[in-house]
Amino acid sequence: MNKPVVSEEALGEPVLVPELTPALAAKAASAGPAYVVLAGISFSHFLNDTMQSLIASVYPILKDNYALDFAQIGMITLAFQFTASLLQPVVGHVTDKKAQPFSLAIGMGFTFFGLLLLSVAHAYGMILVAASLVGLGSAVFHPESARIARLASGGRYGFAQSVFQLGGSFGTAMGPVLAALIVVPFGQPSIAWFSSIAFLAIVILWRIGAWYKPQIAAKKAAPIELHPDHPDDRRVRIALIVLVALLFSKQLYVSSLSSYYIFYLIDRFGVSTQAAQLYLFIFLAANAAGAFFGGPIGDRFGRKYVIWFSILGALPFTLALPYAGLLASAVLTVFIGLIISSATSSIIVFAQELMPHRFGMISGVFFGVAFGIGGLGAAVLGKLADHTSIAFVYHLCAFLPAIGLLAVFLPRMPKPVR
């Protein structure tokens, strides 16, 4: 039986995606994961997300220094989110057409100059430009780095995606800590010190680009062959919509807990701010651990099963959280973090396998748009909390994992062609 191929009409221009050709895939699988490359790209993800999370962490300083109102703070967020999130699919589409091995280092250069500009910015317009530059660096980083992580996976795609996600998760947690230790005591000029982190990332990413360049085919790749049982176009579109909805619901819940958990604990249990931060750290640590272990489990037992378990499995714990005491809340958030975050790698790899000819664009959509919309949704929940209460928001968010029922519409994916 002839294997169907993706036509040029469906793909547009043929693409340079060496990791998707059967010969290179077999070679990579036999060699196993390139651990040094995976470690380097994960560490770079850590550095990138540390700097990215720094932006929101310095809002209080910028607000006090320049007498900004909350609408102006919101515009800084919009400038950053637009470049960091919404441009990622565009960047992914471009790199699908032609892989750019050194684009990661060049993109990190935007972050480098953005941090330097933010450290000396004395006008609101300059702050907006600086935030946009940092966001642009992040937009360039995620789609192509996800491609490199897959290429270095040795066929263990979930494992590679988990290692990649682990760096980002810890980076997101470290940004506020470093801001509290450095920026708050030493002021806005100390932001320039973080440009050294960006420079270190540039060096690492340049070396990774040197490894990546020989992997790129010297000529345009042949049409991509799909398994005979690969879902048709209609089922692929439905599955992608479902996966975006699942990642959105997961990210919205995690964003709401990350943003408002401290206020919830203070409001309900009267704990100190320092104690509430410790409870938040427990949740973030569990979240990072779950993101790491979810990928290898998906490689072993199937991604669809991990998605089902991850999102619906967290539902009993999220429903119980608004009614739990302080200690029980801490325990519940550990289970919630471990379970709900385990789906992240499986969702992204599942989407990549649905559309291997649009690998960069799919990575951009899921890393950028889905995560960005989740963050904006958390802001909407904040407005809702202003008009109701934090407790009401937590009762409402407890039902978000129920969106996981949409996983019933996900197709059964065929085993890879050997």
**Same domain (yes/no): 90, 198:** yes
Q: Is 129 inside any structural domain?
A: yes
Total of domains in the chain: 2
pLDDT tier for residue 17 given thresholds of 50, 70 and 90: very low
Q: Is 172 inside any structural domain?
A: yes
Contact 417, 229 (CB under 8 A): no
Q: Is 4 inside any structural domain?
A: no
Average pLDDT over residues 86-100: 78
Model pLDDT for residues 384-401, shown as the tens digit of each residue: 877 888 788 888 888 988
Share of the chain above pLDDT 70, in %: 83
- Check residue 18 and give its pLDDT: 43
Contacts of residue 314, Cβ cutoff 8 Å, sequence gap at least 6: 335, 336, 339, 340, 401
Q: Is 227 inside any structural domain?
A: no
Model pLDDT for residues 28-77, shown as the tens digit of each residue: 444 456 888 889 999 998 988 888 877 776 777 888 888 877 668 778 87
Q: 12: which DSSP letter? A: S
What is the distance between the alpha carbons of residues 54 and 136, in angstroms, rounded to a whole number? 15
pLDDT higher than 50, residue 276: yes
Average pLDDT over residues 194-204: 91
Write down which residue in 183, 215, 247 finishes a domain: 215
pLDDT tier for residue 335 given thresholds of 50, 70 and 90: very high
- Check residue 216 and give its pLDDT: 66
pLDDT higher than 80, residue 11: no
**Same domain (yes/no): 268, 209:** no
Please list, residue by residue across 14-49, b when 16 or more beta carbons sit within 10 angstroms of its beta carbon and e when fewer do.
bbbbbbbeeebbeebeeeebbeebbebbbbbbbbbb
**Same domain (yes/no): 368, 312:** yes
Average pLDDT over residues 96-110: 84
Average pLDDT over residues 395-410: 86
**Same domain (yes/no): 252, 334:** yes
What is the distance between the alpha carbons of residues 296 and 153, in angstroms, rounded to a whole number? 11
Q: Which domain holds residue 368?
A: 233-408
Share of the chain above pLDDT 90, in %: 13
What is the distance between the alpha carbons of residues 412 and 239, in angstroms, rounded to a whole number? 10
- Domain CATH for 358: 1.20.1250.20
**Same domain (yes/no): 145, 282:** no
Residue 216 CB: number of other CB atoms within 10 A? 16
**Same domain (yes/no): 180, 275:** no
Write down which residue in 188, 215, 242 finishes a domain: 215
**Same domain (yes/no): 111, 257:** no
pLDDT higher than 60, residue 6: no
Q: Distance between alpha carbon 255 and the CA centroid of its chain, in Å?
A: 12
Phi and psi torsions of 279, nearest 5°? -65, -35
What's the predicted TM-score (pTM) here?
A: 0.67
- For 46, 148, 169, 178, 205, the CA distances from 172, given in Å and listed in that order, are 8, 21, 5, 11, 19
**Same domain (yes/no): 75, 101:** yes
Q: What does pLDDT average to over the chain?
A: 78
